[in-house]
Amino acid sequence: MINAILAFSDWLWGIPMLVILAGGGLFLTFRLGFVQFRHFGFAMKETFGKIFAKAEGEGTVTPFQAASAALASTIGASNIVGVPVAIAFGGPGAVFWMWLIALIGAASKISEIVLGIKYREKNAVGDYVGGPMYYLKAIKGNLGKVLSWLFAFFLMIELIPSIASQSLSAVQTAGSLNIPRWAVAALLVVLVGSVVFGGLKRIGMFTEKLVPVMAILYLIGGIAIIFANITAVPTAFGLIFKGAFTKTAAVGGFGGAMLANAVRWGTARGVYSNESGMGTAPIAHSGAITDHPVRQSMWGIFEIVVDTLIVCTITALVVLVSGVWTTMPGSEAAAMPAQAFQNLFGANLGGGVVTISIFLFVLSTITVITYYGQTQAEFLFGETFGKIMVVVYLLAIVGGAYMNLEMMYKFLDILLAAIIIPNMIGLVMLSGEVVELKNEFFGDPKYFKKG
């Protein structure tokens, strides 16, 4: 049964999910007039240029707090661990497919955020809430209700192995410093629980402070490794582009990979990293203070730039230029970045930097996706059940610390597909509404001033 599940996961994340994600993303890209490319400069001004600016409009948290919460779930262990996992099982070419799915998927993420803001509602305590479970209901007939329920239910379930995989990433890396698994898991449970039970505002304040610190800490170390191996950078890019279209031969501890593996692992880990098409980002963005849905959607482009084009690329280069991808087996992929850091900075300092970085990334990710799961449970079965699911997610932190990495990711990918499919169907069916709001925003000087 386990072999059948693993085989199905590999098949599903081959042609079927590539068609759904890339095909759906291309459809939305054309339908929205290549908005992620045409208005890239505007998106950077609205995000990097206005991180601390006061927002206008209605909402619960600031635009940056909403983006930080969304980034906290995307700039997580998937950026440090998901990338070497993709390289270990799909070869360096998997990185190319991560980039491609991110650029195409930007249109999906923009659409999700626009619809999330348009169809958001106020909950019992007065906070704005939204996401696919709300906008999918806007599809006429029973189909909308079915898609909404399927998304909410499968996301609620998918987050159990997702949280477990994050926990495993942290304990495997901490193992390089001989820190016990139970100690890492226990600390995560205490910290996550204390933040999540404080609600969306506390999560926003927490991630706003944590995300920049953890990203900068890791990036500085990663860039140092790249410069220390600067002569290997052209070769690394060569491996990425060559491996994207041809078989990667076995070398050292790397057993080789077929082209299908590069597509499968690059697409799956890319989506899990930047969340385009998953429908989770609008859950965080729906609480943002904004005067127009399209303005908030520009933060979706910001997230893809930071998450995939910067952090994931740094991780890929660290793993490739240091050579650790050829010396360590795939079962130990989670520890590859830590080994690369240790090779340059020494066992204590190098291992310490990565261990702290991954712990902070995992902490932020689990905190936000636990909130995501709680909102799905409340949407489906009420507030009490939402609190029960928080406890289940905290238990998943402990259970995940003792599981198998590859098997967990493959099982996770099946559930990941189960939430992407109803969401992508909804995005395509509601794309006309996104186009209408996009044209309204960029055609009105009140919102968008050319030049």
Strands (E), 174-257: none
Between CA 142 and CA 134 the distance in angstroms is 14
Model confidence pLDDT, tens digit, residues 310-337 = 888 999 999 999 988 888 877 777 778 8
Q: What is the pLDDT of residue 57?
A: 73
Read off the pTM. Answer: 0.84
Between CA 175 and CA 191 the distance in angstroms is 20
Q: At what angle do helices 313-321 and 93-118 cross, to 10 degrees?
A: 160
Joined together, the tokens standing for residue 152 give 């909410």
Q: What is the pLDDT of residue 416?
A: 85
Q: What is the pLDDT of residue 89?
A: 85
Interstrand relation of 121-122 and 128-129 (parallel, antiparallel or unpaired): antiparallel
Determine if residue 131 is left, alpha or beta; phi over 0 gives left, psi from -120 to 50 gives alpha, anything else beta: left
Q: What is the pLDDT of residue 241?
A: 93
Q: Are 307 and 273 in contact (CB under 8 A)?
A: yes
Q: What is the pLDDT of residue 173?
A: 72
Which residue has 């076995």 as its token pair?
Answer: 250
Q: What is the pLDDT of residue 199?
A: 64
Between CA 206 and CA 423 the distance in angstroms is 28
Q: What is the pLDDT of residue 75?
A: 67
**Domains along the chain?**
2-443 (1.20.1740.10)
Amino acid identity of 89? F
Q: What is the pLDDT of residue 55?
A: 67
Q: Give me the tens of pLDDT residue by residue for the chain, a chain 451 residues long.
A: 778 877 888 788 778 888 888 899 999 999 999 999 999 999 888 887 776 667 677 776 677 777 666 666 666 666 777 788 888 888 889 999 989 888 998 999 999 999 999 999 887 777 788 899 999 999 988 999 999 999 999 999 989 888 888 888 788 777 767 788 888 888 888 888 877 776 666 666 666 677 677 778 788 889 999 999 999 999 999 999 998 888 876 666 676 677 777 887 787 777 767 778 888 889 888 888 888 999 999 988 888 888 888 888 999 999 999 988 888 877 777 778 878 888 888 877 777 777 777 788 788 888 888 888 988 998 899 888 988 999 999 999 888 777 766 667 777 788 888 999 999 999 999 999 999 999 999 988 888 775 4
Between CA 165 and CA 175 the distance in angstroms is 15
Between CA 257 and CA 264 the distance in angstroms is 11
Mark 196-211 as b/e (b = at least 16 C-beta within 10 Å). beeebeebbbbbbebb
Between CA 269 and CA 213 the distance in angstroms is 24
Q: What is the pLDDT of residue 339?
A: 84
Model confidence pLDDT, tens digit, residues 196-230 = 776 666 666 666 677 677 778 788 889 999 999 99
Between CA 366 and CA 172 the distance in angstroms is 16
Q: Are 102 and 270 in contact (CB under 8 A)?
A: yes
Q: What is the pLDDT of residue 140?
A: 86
Rg of the Cα atoms in the chain: 20
Between CA 256 and CA 92 the distance in angstroms is 10
Between CA 407 and CA 413 the distance in angstroms is 10
Say whether 92 sits in a helix, a strand or coil: coil
Phi, psi of 225 (to 5 degrees): -65, -40
Instruction: Calculate ∠ Cα 266-271-277, nearest 5°.
Output: 140
